[in-house]
Amino acid sequence: MTILFNNTTTGASAAATYQWDLGNGNTSTLKNPGGTFRDEKTFTVTLTVKVGALTSVKTQQVTVYKKPTVNFSPSVTKGCVPLAVNFTANAAAGDGTVDSYFWDFGDGVIQSTPSALQSHSYSFPQTSSVSLTVKTVLDVTQPSKNHS
């Protein structure tokens, strides 16, 4: 996950210096740095602003959630037209819950459904490359998880 941080420090003069500890092993002295977070865990990001002898520190948490894993299986892979195929999605939602399944059947038909089961009929002889994208959602009212 790549994040561009927006420094909202107020009252600092042009002489202010900024020291960011991004919590991922990287630091920055830019006013508005960016960072890449590759591990699925919670990072502590700290901004230290200094103006002369005055110092202000702000800490925030950045959580990178587990990605979903997606797989599916067709009931048949070959046959005569019209060929009816039942697809079964096998998805683990990571840290969220599966919201919907987006099927691309490789023949110009795209289907969105909340169900892991989907039927499709092929009307023409062809070799189709089927793909599945899973949309997940997070319940942001729950406390964040710390993944070590």
Residue owning tokens 């729950």 = 142
Q: Looking at the whole model, is its pTM more than 0.75?
A: no
Q: Is pLDDT at 93 greater than 90 in this prediction?
A: no
pLDDT at 96: 83
Q: Is pLDDT at 66 greater than 90 in this prediction?
A: no
β partners of residue 108? none
pLDDT at 141: 58
> Whats the size of the chain, residue-wise?
148
pLDDT at 144: 45
Chain segment 14-28, per-residue pLDDT in tens = 999 999 999 999 999
Ordered by where they begin, the domains of the chain are 2-63 (2.60.40.10), 69-137 (2.60.40.10)
pLDDT at 147: 40
| Ramachandran region, residue 79 (left: φ > 0; alpha: ψ -120 to 50; beta: rest) | left
Task: Quickly state the pLDDT bin for 133 (edges 50, 70, 90).
Answer: very high
pLDDT at 139: 67
